[in-house]
Amino acid sequence: MDTEVFEIPPGPDATAGLSLFVPVAWVNSPRAHRLTLSVPRRGAVRITLPRGMKRETALAFLHDKAAWLRRALARRERHPQPSPAAVTLGAHLEKFPWVSIAGKLCALECAETMSRPFHVFHEREALVLFRHRGGVHREGDLRRLVRELAAETLPVRVAELARRAGITVRGVSVRDQRGRWGSCSARATLSLNWRLVLLPPVMQDHVILHELAHRREMNHSARFWNQLAKWDPDCASNNRMLSKQWHGLMDIARGTA
């Protein structure tokens, strides 16, 4: 089984000019009698191919089902199924006490405060300080602090990488996507997952460059991958690492205020 990203083009009931990019797992099954498409409660969309069926036939089927797939994914967004084994944000930050800012790994120091939660970024020292309330407030405070940090720093990183690539971006929003690291619209706006600051710098840049490449090619054609490879020569291995090693970050901080 292999996984690749599939573009769902905008439909009449979707935001104008906005495509969705979702992971699709290709399953070759000798026991399958027909081509099937399913959207599990979590993770990648699954398309199952009978023995001998060509990938081109399955791709055509996937494109025909684009409107259905968009509706199914929207339903999943409205009724999420949290993982029972999901790691809390606090536990993650204890294990990985760092965040990625401006292409650098910055040490993270967390401590309790009696006042309102806040964060401080010391750029010269590559250090971020989080001050949160303890007890039952800890998870919610940490989530807000990481999201605030992401909202401040990710648009700056996008601007820097876009400048290097000679790409124009009209806007960047930082959101709480459930299954995507980011997306790019035909209106030249990027939407990024706040958990990107929890990725290593190389992985964070890989996602941003992927979305910037869609400013040249709003698809996943050979031209798109060639463009991405010019900016990110290790894009193939980075994509595999993102899917295998860091996909679990998507389950962090689900359902916290």
Going from the N-terminus, what domains does the chain have, and what CATH number goes with each? 2-78 (no CATH), 89-251 (3.30.2010.10)
d(CA 171, CA 80): 28
pLDDT value of residue 130: 96
pLDDT value of residue 80: 62
DSSP character at residue 107? E
pLDDT value of residue 56: 86
pLDDT value of residue 92: 93
Angle CA 19–25–31, to nearest 5: 135
pLDDT value of residue 101: 97
Stated pTM of the model: 0.69
Give me 8's structure tokens: 């769902």
Q: One digit per residue, pLDDT tens: the chain, 257 residues?
A: 567 777 777 665 544 446 677 788 888 887 888 889 888 877 788 888 888 888 888 888 888 888 888 888 888 877 665 554 467 899 999 999 999 999 999 999 999 999 899 999 998 899 999 999 989 899 999 999 999 999 999 999 999 999 999 999 999 999 998 778 999 988 899 999 999 999 999 999 999 999 999 999 888 888 999 999 999 999 989 988 888 888 888 888 875 44
173-180 LR contacts (CB < 8 Å, sep 24+) = 174/147, 174/150, 176/147, 178/76, 178/77, 178/80, 178/250, 179/22, 179/23, 179/42, 179/43, 179/73, 179/76, 179/250, 180/20, 180/21, 180/22
